[in-house]
Amino acid sequence: MKYVDYASAWTIFIVGIVGIVMTELRHPPGAVLDTPLLWIFVAMFNFLRLRNDDGVKGLRIFCIGANLCEFIFEIARMKMWGLSFLIVAVPLLAETIFSMIRSKRSVPAIVV
């Protein structure tokens, strides 16, 4: 399950990078850099959650909110761009679900 979580985060990140490069190279009408940049930020939040899941208080709920907001944004973009939104929407939905599921890893004790 962890590998699918990482694969979804990497998919969002790579699609964001490719989106920025393609926007700069092709300059399609109506395309702006803010959406791929948002994908990169959401992927970075998910990488942070994967790396420091139990160590950062509130990170899980922050990632749920970021993934859910971006997923709703992608559904709104569907009317504009067609079914190509599925490339990012499916991994975003998976990341939202993975953010809600608690990992079964043991939490190391922190000595203060």
Q: Which residue is it, tokens 């907001």?
A: 69
Distances (CA, A) of 14 to 35, 43, 59, 104, 111: 13, 9, 22, 28, 38
The answer to whether the beta carbons of residues 67 and 42 sit under 8 Å apart is yes
Question: Over 80: is that where the pLDDT of 15 sits?
Answer: yes
Sequence ranges of the domains in the chain: 2-100
pTM: 0.85
How would you classify residue 32: left for phi > 0, otherwise alpha for psi between -120 and 50, otherwise beta?
Answer: beta
Q: Each residue of 45-91: pLDDT tens digit?
A: 999 999 997 788 889 999 999 999 999 999 988 887 777 788 999 99
